[in-house]
Copies of this chain bind each other. A is one copy, B any other.
Amino acid sequence: MKEKISDGDYVLLYSKGKTWLVKVQESKDFHTHLGRLELGRLIGEPYGKAISTDSGNILYALKPTIEDFVMKCERQTQIVYPKDLGLIAIRANLASGARVIEAGSGSGALTMFLAHLVKKEGRVYSYEIREEFQKIARRNVKRAGLDQYVEFKLKDASQGFDEEDVDAVIIDVGDPWQLIPKAVTALKESGSIICITPTMNQTEKVAEEMKNAGLVRVQSFEVFLRGIEARLGKTRPSSMMIGHTAYITSAVKVV
């Protein structure tokens, strides 16, 4: 039984390496350099369907992945990139059922990813002090269909968290070291704190504060992702790559 596209669903239109995240609506058109597409024609079709624009170009209506929702999200802040999300997931031991605090909703990119991993029993408690960012984060999370797994809180995390015994606390703010004592309080024993820090100086301060707070297994990393252009007889890495996004530092609470 194939999963069908319904009115209001998001699809990722794909053609020759280019993608567009689009909401399917009965009477809406979608315009690109490849021509005009009546989106209503996708309703009732299976995901993966090839569809032709009025100028005869083929687009595929893929089901968006969490990476698509992250990369195509509305943003007013730097987001956490997929290359770092994977490491965060592993270091925080995230899986279905986990209860996770996120300090700094930002644009909600990381929030979506966390919700995607902890659903359906788990919860993300996402703290943000700036209302305009929370609004964007809410919109992004809702668009990805993950809003029922997230509790947004318009609160200053430095005043402490409402939750107890959470499995992990992920901190993505400018001065993460200030939140570590409160994070430790909210965290269950043997749970993880993860900080995301663009500069070396922040990373150093975070690692130091983690040690001061009695956390163990304090480790920092950076991840590089390089595209490979695999083509018969001409395989080579991509010319450009992201040189840096952020360092990831993790630590574990002990009794």
Known: A60-B254, A66-B93, A235-B203. A224 touches B221 (CB 8 A): no
In the complex, chain B residues whose CB is within 8 Å of the CB of A17 = 217
B228 and A222 within 8 A (CB)? yes
A172 CB → nearest B CB, Å: 15
- Copies of this protein chain in the complex: 4
Interface size on A, as a range, is 35 or more
Known: A224-B223, A227-B243, A234-B199. A119 touches B90 (CB 8 A): no
A47 and B190 within 8 A (CB)? yes
Q: Is the interface of A mostly helix, strand, loop or mixed?
A: mixed
B46 and A189 within 8 A (CB)? yes
Q: Which of B3, B86, B219 contacts A90 (CB 8 A)?
A: B86
In the complex the two chains form, what is the Cα distance from A37 to B157 in whole Å?
40
B223 and A227 within 8 A (CB)? no
In the complex, chain B residues whose CB is within 8 Å of the CB of A48 = 189-190, 252-255
A interface, CB within 8 angstroms of B: 1-3, 14, 17, 19, 45-50, 60, 62-63, 65-67, 82-83, 85-87, 89-91, 93, 95-97, 116-117, 119-120, 165, 188-190, 192, 198-201, 203-204, 206-208, 216-245, 247, 249, 252-255
